[in-house]
Structure 1
Amino acid sequence: MSQHAPSQQAAIAQTLIHTCTRFQVVNFFVSPGSRSTPLLLAALSHPQVRLHRIVDERGAAYAALNFARASSQPVAVITTSGTAAGNLMPAVMEADRAGIPLLLLTADRPPELLGVGANQTTRQKDLFLNLVRASWQLPTGNHETPALNEIARQLSECLVKLDHPLPGPVHINCPFREPFFLEAIDPPRITIPLRDAPEEPDLPDAILARVRSAKRPLITLGRIETVKEQSLLAPILQHLRLPIYTDIGSGFRLTQFPSHVSGLELIIQSTKFCPQPPDFVLHIGSYTVSKHYWQWLTSQSQTPQICQLSFRGESVNPMLIPTHYHDRLRPEQIASILQECTKLPANDWLTSTIPHTMSDMMENVSPPWLPPLMQQLPCPASFFFGNSSVPRYFQLFALPSQPQPVPVAINRGVSGIDGNLHSLLGWTLGNELPAIAVMGDLTFYHDLNALPFLSKLPFPLLIIVLNNAGGSIFYNLPIASHSEICDYWFACRDAVELPIPDLARTFNFQYHCIE
């Protein structure tokens, strides 16, 4: 090894961090570890970088993911080697499915320590290969190391894929040799070849022609991942005169606007009031929480035409309905198409079939805690929902009551119940708004080590834990008929008898119990 390798290693780490900032990656979530020291020192020395310390790597990745979701900017997570890198996997799976730009910087042992029994060592190169948009390993500091400009160029080839052509995670594996703790060096003077975004398709006029020719058009807003995307659509919705169905993950389910169809899930399950399905659906965003919605679309012999406008290339077709996809559209293009729809004549075919007493019916059957919560919701504020039953409660029963969009985050890409409290942490830091989190007891139980960090947030925070005896959603499935199996092996009722009052006192939360 060259005697200049330590300084060269520091220069490589600083080149990496400097290149990240050129791609708007300025927020780094860091977990403690020795092997990642060069990355931490390089980040600490860069004036644009903001560091966030999270002790648990799995939690750090979830926090970074949801910070990116809230801020609409790519975010990085730095880990040491070994299982620390493996702990990123759940959040990487979510970032892949949700199309969130999450940069994974995993420190590693140098190549000569692989396969020889070295401690805390595994094969980390391409660890997330099937889930990331790009994967690359930094060169180690030796006489064969490429020039810093060449390293920056190759890093740029990877980092541009955080956002283009399909947003998602990128992995850079970073082998470092000891010693790590080095004197700071001047940042390398490098020129980074920034890339323009790939060419996007022109605005498809055919979409407007399909909407115009439909007798029963419906605009569906599926899950919309980032606050930026939600904010682009928000001012347009007030002027649309076509019926609009919103998913709880869209950020608009709780918002009042003239053509908003609320209570649709309850209506389409009714044999008395169920309306005829649409003949054309303009679907914006990703998948929806409601399965009944998709069953309704396919309830007639002739299924509707569906045209999906995708922010991040995800296809939405769980019932295998023939669908026209327009993927890889920029948010501004989708907003432009929706803006053109405001010129179309009013069509109330769906809203006219829903009983005027629907709002009263929804309040009568909703969980008793939900209407008071919506009536006292601070403005502005944001929501974070755990998975399983909670988003379904809001999708079914929450009435649109807010004059402005309420940002909503759900880890709905692969619907895990782990890491939700750390996700709430990152979401709130990225939004810088008062936050309300609603989750079940089993979800809360999964991520208790986030509580000390949440208690130090500089923003008002309300966490609502539903004491639903563990995995209550399993009682809606056929296994519920075998109660002795369901209680123990699925709902885990005995495993989540948490001393929540004691936890609240320990971490300086106010606690209230609502019977």
Structure 2
Amino acid sequence: MITTNCDNLNLLWAQLLIEECTRLGISDACIAPGSRSAPLTMAAAAHPKLQCHTHFDERGLGFLALGLTKASQRPVLVICTSGSALANLYPAVVEAAQTAQPLVLACADRPLELVNCGANQAIQQPRIFANFPVAELDLPAPDSHFPPRALLGKLDDLIASAQSAPGPVFINCPYREPFYPSGEPIDFSDYLAPLASWLGAVTPLCRIHPVTQYCSPSPYWPPAPTHAVLIVLGALTKVQMQAIVDWAKSTGWPIFADIQSQAFGLAEVITTADSLLQRDELATLSFDYILQFSGRLVSKTLQQWLDTQPAEHWLIAPGTTRFDPYYQLSQHYPCDIFSWLENHPAPTYRRDDAKRWLRAQQRLLAPKGNDELSMVASLASQIPEKSALMLGNSLAIRHMQMVGQTLPASVNCFANRGCSGIDGLLATACGIALNQPVTTLILGDTSLLHDLNSLALTRQLSTTLIIVVINNDGGSIFELLPIPRHGDLAQTYYQLPHGMNFAAVAAQFAINYQQVTDDKSLIIAYQRALQQGGAQLLELTSKPTAASRAIRQLGEQVRALSSL
């Protein structure tokens, strides 16, 4: 609530910004400690419509906000102080940009007179995130000559930029002292007079509606009955995925699904293309049209196979990113998926091309054993309906892509595949867990070591977060890469064996801990963790070479199947 009496202009500007943010749909703020950012922190903490979350590590805080944004599909505000503090947000900003997530960064700064003069904690903050934000607002230090309507209007424009081209936005907020309340409140009635109608309302000063991009029907649509068509599902929301699957039901076209598509567990979808394409009789099939909805496919095998297809390759995905690393696109529709479906009704004829792929998928047996691939396969069927699953990069997401066909269809899958880094995976999962009753995180040991600080975030959770760490003593994904094996090159410079376990770490952060070594003990431990609730750490131990051996054996089993 904005009142005409306020302790100083810094606090008033902060209150105006925070109030407008809530009117623009922001309901969560992630805040790091800092003195120069105190006006923003105090305004956010006092706002009744804002849920505030804290972390002492700005890098983890950025990924916490990213997880919150992914799970809620709403913009999230991030507040931090000046100097290297906001530089620690960089990895999360990059990931948000790559995956079009609407983070709103409000970071304090020194005023201009304290920059480039040796003042403490002063750096060049404008443009610090380069071209990763979709828009940036470099405010002046609070000044009574700067109209309050201009302050709100510029914020409205900035948030609208993130709506029309989703991604992070950056507000640089210089403040002169004082940062805290001092003395008697000042009457700002005259300054706020131009905002009289806004003060009495609950809507933004100016609601800017994003342009809706409608995709006109293609003259090449629909494909002829003689044409073979393949649908590929990339990273989608549940609603987008279901709309595409419903649209395609009458066609009989095969649907290949990435683990990020939310389509795992659906009987009519092929989730095992990674394995099936190791069969020559399937890999040599060709298509005339490939319709890919969204992108960032996990499977390199699938991407390389798509590159061999002599097909019309169409991409339907909001935004201008082509999701086309092999430059195969012949048609690119950078528009709303629902609009495209509406303007391209499914053809009335039916083909039965999907049946062959689905029969082959039904014959695949989930691996059984004590290696990590088998354990991930066992875990997939245990994850509760309507819960969240966050997959780490490196081997964790690849394992689930290969053997996760038993995942319940209602599970929401999340991943940081914008730049596929290992930083901030735990913090992102904590952000997701703030909006989900049950969240399961599967990640590697190196990834967890990289984000140990974020175990502190689990103390803020009132929900269940089960962390399943695959401990194969370092970066075992490098076992699958053609690194020269002479000497100790691979171990010393790539895999980096650490010889550690996570029992003491769990004790340090007061997290329940269980160690498992096979699929049976994993299922028992996971069910126990679900029953206990809260933060749980399951350490899945595996030999460094076990994963690569299991992946190769799975390929051999597929190739050994009798004729399909």
TM-score by length of 2: 0.82
Q: Does 1:243 align with 2:254?
A: yes
- CA shift, 1:510, in A, is 2.2
How far apart in 1 are the matches of 2:266 and 2:465?
A: 24
* 8 Å CA contact 1:241, 1:344 repeated in 2: no
- CA shift, 1:101, in A, is 0.7
* 8 Å CA contact 1:5, 1:142 repeated in 2: no
* 8 Å CA contact 2:214, 2:339 repeated in 1: no
Deviations 1:283-340 (A, max 9, x none): 111220111112212335xx2111111133321111111331111x2354256468x3
Q: Does 1:421 align with 2:426?
A: yes
* 8 Å CA contact 1:62, 1:422 repeated in 2: yes
Q: 1:375 to 1:209 in 2, by over 3 A?
A: same
How far apart in 1 are the matches of 2:361 and 2:337?
A: 36
- CA shift, 1:172, in A, is 0.4
- CA shift, 1:8, in A, is 2.0
Give the corresponding residue for 1:514: 516
* 8 Å CA contact 1:6, 1:141 repeated in 2: no
* 8 Å CA contact 2:80, 2:106 repeated in 1: yes
How far apart in 1 are the matches of 2:59 and 2:354?
A: 44
Q: 1:483 to 1:232 in 2, by over 3 A?
A: farther
How far apart in 1 are the matches of 2:173 and 2:300?
A: 43
2:26 match: secondary structure? coil
Structure index of larger Rg? 2
2:328 to 299, 321, 324: 321
Give the corresponding residue for 1:127: 128
Q: 1:257 to 1:206 in 2, by over 3 A?
A: farther
Give the corresponding residue for 2:201: none
> How does 1:153-168 map onto structure 2 within 5 Å?
153-164=153-164, 166-168=165-167
2:308 to 299, 305, 328: 299
- CA shift, 1:499, in A, is 3.4
User: What code does the residue aligned with 2:205 have?
Assistant: I
> How does 1:346-357 map onto structure 2 within 5 Å?
346-352=350-356, 356=360
Q: Does 1:288 align with 2:301?
A: no
How far apart in 1 are the matches of 2:84 and 2:226?
A: 54
Q: 1:38 to 1:375 in 2, by over 3 A?
A: same
How far apart in 2 are the matches of 1:154 and 1:102?
A: 17
Deviations 1:433-466 (A, max 9, x none): 3111100100011001111221442222211111
* 8 Å CA contact 1:418, 1:447 repeated in 2: yes
- CA shift, 1:262, in A, is 3.2
* 8 Å CA contact 1:31, 1:54 repeated in 2: yes
Q: 1:408 to 1:357 in 2, by over 3 A?
A: closer
User: What code does the residue aligned with 1:425 have?
Assistant: C
1:439 to 428, 437, 443: 443
> How does 1:358-437 map onto structure 2 within 5 Å?
358-363=362-367, 367-402=373-408, 404-430=409-435, 432-437=436-441
User: What code does the residue aligned with 2:274 have?
Assistant: E
How far apart in 2 are the matches of 1:240 and 1:22?
A: 44
Out of 213-222 and 381-390, give the one that drifted further.
213-222
Structure 2 residue runs without a partner (length 5+): 199-203, 518-564
2:443 match: secondary structure? strand
Q: 1:52 to 1:233 in 2, by over 3 A?
A: farther
1:66 match: secondary structure? helix
Give the corresponding residue for 2:229: 217
Q: 1:233 to 1:80 in 2, by over 3 A?
A: farther
Deviations 1:362-413 (A, max 9, x none): 43598221232123221121100111111111111222452x3321111100
Deviations 1:118-138 (A, max 9, x none): 111101012113111111112
Structure 1 residue runs without a partner (length 5+): none
Q: 1:457 to 1:227 in 2, by over 3 A?
A: farther
TM-score by length of 1: 0.89
- CA shift, 1:31, in A, is 0.6
* 8 Å CA contact 1:81, 1:121 repeated in 2: yes
- CA shift, 1:171, in A, is 0.5
User: What code does the residue aligned with 2:143 have?
Assistant: N
2:422 match: secondary structure? coil
Give the corresponding residue for 2:168: 169
Give the corresponding residue for 1:151: 151
2:364 match: secondary structure? helix
* 8 Å CA contact 1:218, 1:243 repeated in 2: yes
How far apart in 2 are the matches of 1:207 and 1:461?
A: 48
- CA shift, 1:175, in A, is 0.3
How far apart in 2 are the matches of 1:393 and 1:44?
A: 42
* 8 Å CA contact 1:359, 1:399 repeated in 2: no
How far apart in 1 are the matches of 2:226 and 2:23?
A: 46
1:29 match: secondary structure? strand
* 8 Å CA contact 1:6, 1:180 repeated in 2: no
1:481 match: secondary structure? coil
Give the corresponding residue for 1:201: 214
* 8 Å CA contact 1:71, 1:227 repeated in 2: no
Out of 452-461 and 441-450, give the one that drifted further.
452-461
Aligned length: 497
- CA shift, 1:151, in A, is 1.2
Q: 1:25 to 1:401 in 2, by over 3 A?
A: closer
* 8 Å CA contact 2:426, 2:448 repeated in 1: yes
User: What code does the residue aligned with 1:465 have?
Assistant: V
Give the corresponding residue for 2:504: 502
How far apart in 1 are the matches of 2:359 and 2:487?
A: 38
- CA shift, 1:227, in A, is 5.5
User: What code does the residue aligned with 1:440 have?
Assistant: G
How far apart in 1 are the matches of 2:313 and 2:151?
A: 45
2:379 match: secondary structure? helix
Give the corresponding residue for 1:461: 465
Give the corresponding residue for 2:17: 16
Give the corresponding residue for 1:255: 265
1:478 match: secondary structure? coil
Q: 1:223 to 1:107 in 2, by over 3 A?
A: same
1:195 match: secondary structure? coil
How far apart in 1 are the matches of 2:426 and 2:126?
A: 29
User: What code does the residue aligned with 2:86 have?
Assistant: A
2:516 match: secondary structure? coil
* 8 Å CA contact 1:275, 1:353 repeated in 2: no
- CA shift, 1:215, in A, is 2.0
Q: 1:367 to 1:269 in 2, by over 3 A?
A: same
1:265 to 274, 289, 307: 274
2:14 match: secondary structure? helix
- CA shift, 1:50, in A, is 1.4
User: What code does the residue aligned with 2:327 have?
Assistant: L
How far apart in 1 are the matches of 2:167 and 2:361?
A: 43
How far apart in 1 are the matches of 2:244 and 2:464?
A: 27
2:170 match: secondary structure? strand
Deviations 1:234-263 (A, max 9, x none): 7667666321111011121x22232x1232
Give the corresponding residue for 1:179: 178
Q: 1:94 to 1:344 in 2, by over 3 A?
A: farther
* 8 Å CA contact 1:243, 1:347 repeated in 2: no
Q: 1:41 to 1:232 in 2, by over 3 A?
A: farther
Q: 1:412 to 1:94 in 2, by over 3 A?
A: same
* 8 Å CA contact 1:137, 1:172 repeated in 2: yes
